[in-house]
Amino acid sequence: MKIQRLTYLSLGSNQGEKLKNLQKAIYEIAETVGAIQKISSIYKTSSWGYEGEDFYNISISVSTYLQPESLLEELLTIESKLGRERNNLHEYTDRKIDIDILLFDDEIIFSRKITIPHPKMLERKFVLVPLVEIAKNTSHPIEKKQLYACLNNCKDTSSIEKISSKLIRPIPLTEKYNYIAVEGNIGAGKTSLASLMSDEFNARVVLERFADNPFLPKFYEDKERFAFPLEMSFLADRYQQLSDDLAQFDLFKNFIVSDYYIFKSLIFAQVTLQKEEYALYRKMFDIMYKEISKPDLYIYLYQNTDRLLENIKKRGREYEQNIEASYLQKIHDGYHNFIKTEQHLNTLVIDVSELDFVNSHEDYKQILKKINLHTSSITT
């Protein structure tokens, strides 16, 4: 299990639209570093060590799975992306954005690349004042004093002014959702995405037990004969699994992510069953559906048919190799109608036809960005 750590960062800007620079940095940190727990007020201070424009300074606390040196590399990338230009003279200069690591849990690190705690943090009010606002009782790991006491002992006499403007804290997935369902056609990548998200966010993953269904290989050999027992067994198993897993609260996991939702049963049944069989099946489904917890977020991965067939062939399940494009299109049409008519679900459709999020971390980050943007849009 990955261990989440708490780090405190100092952010400053004295070039261009300073508030926007800070907000952009916050969004980038939330996207690539971890969940932002707290943001201090904004403090205006004179430039330090040279004549320049006033700075806007803040402190933030971030939960992250990154190690300190990886964290530093990510923050340098964010600075560069937002227009920070560094010189090799180590002189104080104007900057669009400046991000420093102040504390990383209670660790003490002296290496060629990084020093933690930040060696100058106790000398500067523009660092300590916003930091104390969000971490008053946190102890400095070297001084063995709480930060408010460190601020009282600070000899910096420069003026510092709190301004009224506020910055937005991005709401992380771990706070917004208790249960996320990832759906898609056969071969869309729903199991892969659910597993990646489970690892990324320390979520409990619920994966469909399709391999245990004895009717599945027989169905692909003789659809008409084995469609009804297949769909009934899938419905019973999905109902049992979701009922059990969603009822169990895990103190050590942030939320639940599954690679299916029980409505999948109805979508496939509409395609595979005869009219009389479907009528009986629907009665059973409606009884079960009332009892199942609904996901807080329903993600549908759209994948074009050619890519689906390619993925199915690549993963090599023998009983899937004769699946036809027309069958996949019927499944997609079923999902499309479900999404269009099911108004009570918080649904996000993501087109992954041009993405390889299993092998490309950048593509995976694109998907997370879409999820985060969707989360922000329904929050505001």
List pLDDT tens digits, range 64-81.
Answer: 989 999 999 999 999 999
pLDDT-above-70 percentage for the chain: 96
Domains of the chain in sequence order: 5-162 (3.30.70.560), 173-379 (3.40.50.300)
pLDDT of residue 359 exceeding 60, the answer is yes
pLDDT of residue 379 exceeding 60, the answer is no
| Residue 318 to residue 339: CA distance in whole angstroms | 30
| Residue 61 to residue 10: CA distance in whole angstroms | 9
Range among 36-50, 127-141, 169-183, 204-218 rated most confident: 127-141
Task: Tally helices (H) and strands (E) across the chain.
Answer: 13, 13
Of 46-50, 79-83, 168-172, the poorest mean pLDDT is in 46-50
Of 131-145, 154-168, 204-218, 220-234, the poorest mean pLDDT is in 204-218
pLDDT bin (cut points 50, 70, 90) of residue 220 is confident
pLDDT bin (cut points 50, 70, 90) of residue 95 is confident
pLDDT of residue 84 exceeding 90, the answer is no
Cα 81 versus chain centre, distance: 20
* DSSP β-bridge partners for residue 243: none
Which are the contacts of 182, defined by CB distance < 8 A and separation ≥ 6?
190, 193, 194, 197, 257, 258, 259, 260, 299, 301
Active site residue 259: yes
| Residue 166 to residue 20: CA distance in whole angstroms | 11
Residue 40 corresponds to which tokens in the numbers above?
């201090």
Q: Calculate mean pLDDT across residues 50-64.
A: 91
Instruction: List the beta strands (DSSP E) in the chain.
Output: 5-13, 34-39, 43-45, 55-64, 98-104, 109-110, 115-116, 160-162, 179-184, 204-206, 256-258, 297-302, 347-351
CB 118 within 8 A of CB 142: no
- More confident call, 256 vs 94: 256
pLDDT of residue 380 exceeding 60, the answer is no
Q: Calculate mean pLDDT across residues 104-109.
A: 96
Q: Give the residue ranges of DSSP H helices in 208-324.
A: 215-221, 223-247, 263-272, 275-289, 305-315
> Torsion angle of alpha carbons 345, 299, 354, 76, nearest 10°?
120
Other C-beta atoms lying within 10 Å of the C-beta of residue 106:
13
What's the mean pLDDT when you consider all of the chain? 91
* pLDDT in the model for residue 25: 97
* pLDDT in the model for residue 85: 77
Q: Which of 259, 286, 296, 363 is catalytic?
A: 259
Residue 193 corresponds to which tokens in the numbers above?
């995405």
| Residue 179 to residue 191: CA distance in whole angstroms | 15
* pLDDT in the model for residue 51: 76
Residues in the chain: 380
Helix, strand and coil content of the chain, in percent to the nearest 5, comes to: 45, 20, 35
* pLDDT in the model for residue 43: 97
* 68 preceded by a cis bond (ω within 30 of 0): no
Whole-model pTM? 0.80
Q: Calculate mean pLDDT across residues 307-334.
A: 90
Distance from the first to the final alpha carbon of the chain: 33
pLDDT bin (cut points 50, 70, 90) of residue 231 is very high
pLDDT bin (cut points 50, 70, 90) of residue 376 is low
* pLDDT in the model for residue 211: 62
